[in-house]
């Protein structure tokens, strides 16, 4: 049955919130197709938002949102089960492809907290769901914004997700819930002392910023970097960012070129701390040269028809122009059948971009050869593609994954 939505409803509300500007906490993203893999990538779940047609002052739903779970069999995807009539931005698929955990949408009932928090599905059939108010002991513990509220912490010790046959979830009150994946029932309650709400996180960031600035002040790179970049968002953290190739502790900062050039780009640096000092071998001129080479790649020239809405991000570590070496090697092996030699890793740059709601993704570029790998942010790494030095996407033979 076709439904009519008022302009003050979800679709128009999404557009209005996006137009609010830089207030990220109150910016509701528009629904996009996305997918998630099981741990071994044998199974896949694809989420597809509804399609609408404008009808005067209303929007008509011409196709409902849906999600489909598949099993990979060779080059084919075999449908296992599906769901319809709802959309989520985040979900988790079990290792056997049978169970799916759906996270709730934009939490906007600031009075009753009746928004969906989490729901459990068995082969596409709902088996259990919880509202936010059912997981909160104190309804006043949520963090309010002008249009919604947060019932989960901004930072937690263990990531939300599936662990074996259970699902792990933490609330803003630091309460840890362990759910049985097969029934959706709560089987254990605990506490996460390391979970932080926005206020607590901000206090921690202020303290970490001071430590980070002190390290920068005594470092050998300070003069070189400050001459070429505006250094901001300085932090020190004892925890490891999941995607960097070295272990904690880490020094992080945003480097904005003092001589900006289109398209806009910033550098997000994550450097290891060894014996109380920053361990960095990359010089500011090397980073600037990498920016120039990367953005001169014909892929970006062909792709960019107009300046992107958001800056590109070059991710660097202390000795190479990218963060995620394991992912780079995995993609390169899958697409070429070859390992990247250790001595060549420093020449691979990692560019992350979100030029608009239409696309987002990561491009790894070999600054010497022009060879590149593109991974769409809305799809799995299984759909990554090789790009040649002329900016053309190739469809290579896919080699078996070896992690």
pLDDT recorded at residue 89: 93
pLDDT recorded at residue 401: 52
Helical ranges in 60-163 per DSSP H: 132-135
Is residue 1 scored above 90 in pLDDT? no
Query: Please, how many CA atoms are within 13 Å of residue 379, restricted to the half-sphere of its CB?
Result: 10
Question: Which one is predicted more confidently, 16 or 29?
Answer: 29
Map out the domains of the chain as residue ranges: 4-196, 199-394
C-alpha 329 chain-centroid distance: 19
Question: Which one is predicted more confidently, 109 or 180?
Answer: 180
Separation between Cα atoms, residue 162 and residue 39, nearest integer Å: 10
Quote the DSSP letter at residue 155. Answer: B
Is the CB of residue 274 less than 8 Å from the CB of residue 260?
A: no
Q: How confident is the model at residue 307 (pLDDT cuts 50, 70, 90)?
A: low
Q: How confident is the model at residue 204 (pLDDT cuts 50, 70, 90)?
A: confident
pLDDT recorded at residue 27: 55
pLDDT recorded at residue 40: 87
* Closest alpha carbon to 310 in 269, 353, 374: 353
**Residue range 255-291, pLDDT digits in tens:** 999 998 777 899 999 999 998 899 999 999 999 999 9
Separation between Cα atoms, residue 120 and residue 103, nearest integer Å: 9
Token code pair at residue 183: 């029934």
Q: What is the pTM of this model?
A: 0.66
Identify the top-confidence range among 163-172, 307-316, 380-389.
163-172
**Partners of 78 in the β-ladder:** 71
Torsion angles phi and psi, residue 326, rounded to 5:
-60, -40
DSSP states of 235-284: EEESSPPTTSSSPSPEEEEEEEESS--SSPEEEEEEEEEETTEE-----H
**Residue range 3-25, pLDDT digits in tens:** 433 332 333 333 333 333 333 44
* Closest alpha carbon to 237 in 214, 212, 213: 212
């Amino acid at each position: 049955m076709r439904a009519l939505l008022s302009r003050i409803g979800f679709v128009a509300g999404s557009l209005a919130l996006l137009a609010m500007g830089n207030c990220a906490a109150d910016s509701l993203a528009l629904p996009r197709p996305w997918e998630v893999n099981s741990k071994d990538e044998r199974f896949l779940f694809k989420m597809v938002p509804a399609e609408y047609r404008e009808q005067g002052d209303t929007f008509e739903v011409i196709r409902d949102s849906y999600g489909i779970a598949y099993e990979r069999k060779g080059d084919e995807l075999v449908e296992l089960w599906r769901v319809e009539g709802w959309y989520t931005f985040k979900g988790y698929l079990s290792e056997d492809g049978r169970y799916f955990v759906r996270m709730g949408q934009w939490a906007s009932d600031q009075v009753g907290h009746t928004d969906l928090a989490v729901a459990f599905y068995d082969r596409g059939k709902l088996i259990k769901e919880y509202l936010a108010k059912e997981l909160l002991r104190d309804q006043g513990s949520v963090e309010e914004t002008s249009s919604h509220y947060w019932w989960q912490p901004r930072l937690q010790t263990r990531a939300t997700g599936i662990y074996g046959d259970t699902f792990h979830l933490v609330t803003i009150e630091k309460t840890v819930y362990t759910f049985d994946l097969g029934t959706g029932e709560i089987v254990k309650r605990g506490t996460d002392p390391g979970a932080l709400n926005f206020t607590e996180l901000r206090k921690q960031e202020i303290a970490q910023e001071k430590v980070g600035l002190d390290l920068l002040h005594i470092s050998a790179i300070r003069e070189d970097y400050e001459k070429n970049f505006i250094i901001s968002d300085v932090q020190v953290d004892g925890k490891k960012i999941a995607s960097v190739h070295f272990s904690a502790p880490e020094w992080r900062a945003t480097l904005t070129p003092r001589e900006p050039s289109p398209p806009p780009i910033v550098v997000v640096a994550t450097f290891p701390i060894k014996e109380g000092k920053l361990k960095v071998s990359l010089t500011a001129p090397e980073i600037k040269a990498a920016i120039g080479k990367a953005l001169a790649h014909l892929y970006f020239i062909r792709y960019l028809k107009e300046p992107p809405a958001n800056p590109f991000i070059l991710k660097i570590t202390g000795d190479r122009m990218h963060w995620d070496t394991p992912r780079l090697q995995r993609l390169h092996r899958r697409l070429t059948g070859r390992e990247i030699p250790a001595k060549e890793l420093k020449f691979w740059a990692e560019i992350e971009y979100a030029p608009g709601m239409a696309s987002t993704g990561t491009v790894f570029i070999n600054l010497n050869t022009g060879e590149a790998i593109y991974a769409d942010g809305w799809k799995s790494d299984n759909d990554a593609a090789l790009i040649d030095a002329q900016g053309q996407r190739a469809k290579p033979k896919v080699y078996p994954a070896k992690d």
